[in-house]
Structure 1
Amino acid sequence: MTCRRAWIALLIFLAVIINYMDRIALSVAAKPIVAEFGFSPVEMGYLFSGFLWTYVVCLIPLGMLVEKIGAKRMVGGGIAVWSAATAATAAMGSFGSILGARLVMGASEATTFPACGRVIRDWFPERERGLVTTLFNGGSSAGPALGAIITAALVSSFDWRTAFLFLGAVGFVWLVAWLVWYGPPEKVRWLPAAEKAKILSERNGKGEDAAKQYPPPSSLGYLLAQRSIWGLVITQACLVYTAYLFLTWLPTYLQSTRELSTMNTGYLTAIPYLVTMIFGLVIARLSDRMLSSAEIQAGRRRNFIAAMAALSLLILLAPVVSGLWQLLVVLTLVLTGSTTGAGLNFTLASDLLRNPRDVSRVIAITAFGGNLFGLIAPIITGYVVSGTGGYTWAFRIAAALLLCGLVATLVMTRKPIKPEHA
């Protein structure tokens, strides 16, 4: 049996890597940008979060369009626009113009998670989804790691504008590969017949009839009336708040508290993200292997998510550890909990859904909740740092939300989400 479907996993993993490389670039290049324009911490907080404003607004509408437009065009069009916006940032010369480029980038990045959620449901058997979804979401760890190193190297060797031009070009290279190779498993010619049969028979549970006709997608109103949907949304919001606090402020935090150069900041930002990706894949694989098909469909993956939220509570130790390497260990464990938990939460959404045609919409709704809190994380942190002169209270706010997420996933995601139309 071949495993050519791994190429699809690799493609969507790389898409998220590029997505997050572009997101973190501004954070790593913040020092020379502040030096050039004189932006305050509050202004930088708004710039860090700017792309999330349009991202959040566009998530649900674009998620509802996936069934009509198709994943191939949705993802391809999105990366073309956001890569162009990233490259265009290099030409900007004011707060307003940089913010404008970030807004365009955010709107187009909203295509990725809803469309790729459907790709995973279509391409991978039920008991592979935890690993593949966490690999896909692991791009949110690998992307900042690679983005931090590449951006720091380009800023140190050239300037911050060169870094944005390079990152924009990378997206168009990926786009060529996507347009050449991607298609539904039923239609691509490069997939062997035996592997195609396995995918079609096991993607909705072993022995599922590949030819089964599913009802139309459920309406937004119906989905929002489901208690489990709100459990997914609240959990995602609480986990992603911490993830975005680090994504936007970690380089600045290391520079201001440890007096690091831009290049050293890039290296030390990368370490927690790279280790997090490895830990996350191991944990996701365990969730696939330890749970039976019946337990997966009953939503028992929620226990792994709760454990990840509990692990992230170690964020309370960040202000009190003294050594740099001790701090990196704490940050790595916190990132492992928040990003792996968020990835598994997407998998839980797919586990609970009984109609595959609802996947894109529910992933979009869940991502909306996460990114709504991700949007406010850098802004709140900017005000807290400006008002208190430190990061302790910023970390305490994140810990309180993590505790809420832990409770939400255990209490609110216990019922499968049935189709609206029988």
Structure 2
Amino acid sequence: MLMLFGSIINYLDRVNLSIANTTIGKEFGLDPVQMGLLLSAFMWPYALANLPAGWIVDKYGAKKIFMWGIIVWSLATIAGGFVQGFMSMYITRMILGIAEAPFFIIGGQVTQQYFSHEERGMASSVINLGPKIANGFAPPLLTFLLIWMGWRGMFITLGVTGFAISFLWMKYYREEYKVEQVAQLKKGKVNFWALFNHPTSWWFNIGNIGSSYVFWLYFTWLPTYLTTQRGMSLTQAGWAAAIPFIAGVIAVPIGGWMSDYLIKRGMNVIRARLVPTVGGCILAAVAVIPVNYIEDTTWAMVLITISLFAGALRVGVLWALVGDLTPPEAVGTFGGIQNFASFIGATLAPIGTGYIVKATNSFDYVFVVSGVLCLIGAISYALISRKITSEDLLPN
């Protein structure tokens, strides 16, 4: 539950700029390309920081790294409420990205410590419900805060909340390793490049890039799309944008339950994880491609909702798969590598969308590009076939 609450505030601190981007853009005089760059300011430092963050979590443990991470990212969020222009906001978002990088890596390590293969899918899904809960309730909640106290007050309020989570984490969390995990952790160093260059790692990472792109398109641009292309007011867009993300909240535990159920029924662990992952990505791609060609806004929202629901089936499953594919001494490092890949897609989505919208004055190609990339991701996931062993990772 502590990880669930942590993941909720983790994502609220990310999404606040997406909710306020129209207001901030007007105040600072930003064009779509500049706003795309600002929306991605969190993502590329987050992506790069995942590489050392995985090793740091493996070395120093979940408890200490979570505490320091949430303290720093909360301070960065508070600082965002005091910025005076593009560059100062950009810097606070970069710091936020670096500080938040270890969080879901910690989640992968925690689930491997505490849960068996048959339980890990649902456990990972509970942790990863946080982003979907945050995304589902963020549009109406943060829109309310935006209207009530302004975007600066919204940032400061969210930052202060993080300190309460940090206190509870330090008070109640206990790290726990099984006997066989302790033995493996003592084996020695992991060869980072052997792990990075392993075929399983490459298929996993390409899949993450493609599937993350479509999610982060919604995450960063959906409120703006609804106001500029569908003619909604800010309040209407806030409520409408919540619907697809609420569908995502429902989908995450379904994906975890499905994979655990298939394992209990005797299916190979890797295949069981890939059923909701590959199937969800295919459905998400098929649903998103025609969105902007649908004139009726209601039906466009139905397709967006289907796409987000289907794409969310994979979320908790993939973090369970991190623990399934790797030995205990490499879980954090591998989690960092795969999350790095996810945020390559996440970084490209807002920037690419900004350029496409500016060049075409339309969202038509935005949804087509995201759908094609999601299909490529589905194919790549389907090619994952074997686990990474300790012997694969020994230093040369």
TM-score bracket for this pair, using the shorter chain length: over 0.9
Q: Deviations over 1:394-414 (max 9, x none)?
A: 111111111111111112x10
**Equivalent position of 1:265 in the other structure:** 237
* The 10-residue stretch of structure 1 (315-324 or 358-367) with the greater mean CA deviation from structure 2: 315-324
Query: Aligned-pair distance for 1:262?
Result: 2.0
CA contact (8 A) 1:234 1:369 kept: yes
Query: Aligned-pair distance for 1:310?
Result: 0.7
**Equivalent position of 2:99 in the other structure:** 108
**Equivalent position of 2:124 in the other structure:** 133
Q: Distance in 2 between matches of 1:225 and 1:100?
A: 32
Q: Please identify runs of 4+ aligned residues in structure 1 that moved more than 6 A.
A: none
Choose from 17, 25, 28 the match for 2:19: 28
Q: Distance in 2 between matches of 1:127 and 1:141?
A: 23
Q: Distance in 1 between matches of 2:70 and 2:300?
A: 35
**Equivalent position of 2:385 in the other structure:** 414
The amino acid of 2:297's aligned partner reads L
Query: Aligned-pair distance for 1:133?
Result: 1.3
- Give SS of 2:295's match: coil
Q: Any unmatched runs of 5+ in structure 2?
A: none
TM alignment of 1:120-269, pairs within 5 A: 120-185=111-176, 200=178, 212-214=183-185, 215-269=187-241
Q: CA RMSD in A?
A: 1.9
Q: Distance in 1 between matches of 2:292 and 2:335?
A: 34
Choose from 320, 343, 346 the match for 2:293: 320
Q: Given the alignment of the two structures, is residue 45 of structure 1 paired with residue 36 of structure 2, yes or no? A: yes
Q: Deviations over 1:32-63 (max 9, x none)?
A: 21221111011000010101121112111011
Query: Aligned-pair distance for 1:280?
Result: 2.1
CA contact (8 A) 1:138 1:340 kept: no
Q: Deviations over 1:278-334 (max 9, x none)?
A: 122123201111224864444442222110111111101211333333222211221
Q: Distance in 2 between matches of 1:225 and 1:154?
A: 45
* The 10-residue stretch of structure 1 (254-263 or 55-64) with the greater mean CA deviation from structure 2: 254-263
Q: Given the alignment of the two structures, is residue 15 of structure 1 paired with residue 2 of structure 2, yes or no? A: no
Q: Distance in 2 between matches of 1:135 and 1:392?
A: 35
Choose from 314, 317, 336 the match for 2:309: 336
CA contact (8 A) 2:252 2:315 kept: no
CA contact (8 A) 1:131 1:285 kept: yes
Change (3 A) 1:211 1:38: closer
CA contact (8 A) 1:312 1:335 kept: yes
Change (3 A) 1:178 1:269: same
TM-score when scaled to structure 1? 0.88
Choose from 361, 365, 378 the match for 2:350: 378
Q: Any unmatched runs of 5+ in structure 1?
A: 1-9, 187-199, 202-208
Q: Distance in 1 between matches of 2:375 and 2:237?
A: 30
Q: Distance in 2 between matches of 1:280 and 1:223?
A: 28
- Give SS of 2:42's match: helix
**Equivalent position of 1:192 in the other structure:** none
Change (3 A) 1:302 1:58: same
The amino acid of 2:112's aligned partner reads R
Q: Distance in 2 between matches of 1:416 and 1:268?
A: 41
Query: Aligned-pair distance for 1:145?
Result: 2.1
Query: Aligned-pair distance for 1:213?
Result: 4.3
Q: Distance in 2 between matches of 1:390 and 1:100?
A: 30
**Equivalent position of 1:89 in the other structure:** 80
**Equivalent position of 1:277 in the other structure:** 249
* The 10-residue stretch of structure 1 (272-281 or 104-113) with the greater mean CA deviation from structure 2: 272-281
TM-score when scaled to structure 2? 0.94
Q: Distance in 2 between matches of 1:216 and 1:330?
A: 49
The amino acid of 2:291's aligned partner reads A
CA contact (8 A) 1:83 1:168 kept: yes
Q: Distance in 1 between matches of 2:134 and 2:58?
A: 28
Choose from 347, 368, 371 the match for 2:320: 347
**Equivalent position of 2:108 in the other structure:** 117
Q: Deviations over 1:226-276 (max 9, x none)?
A: 111111111111111111111100110111122222222222111211121
* The 10-residue stretch of structure 1 (19-28 or 212-221) with the greater mean CA deviation from structure 2: 212-221
CA contact (8 A) 2:120 2:260 kept: yes
- Give SS of 1:218's match: coil
The amino acid of 1:312's aligned partner reads A
Identity between Structure 1 and Structure 2 (%): 28
Q: Deviations over 1:105-151 (max 9, x none)?
A: 01101011212211111122221111121222222211122222222
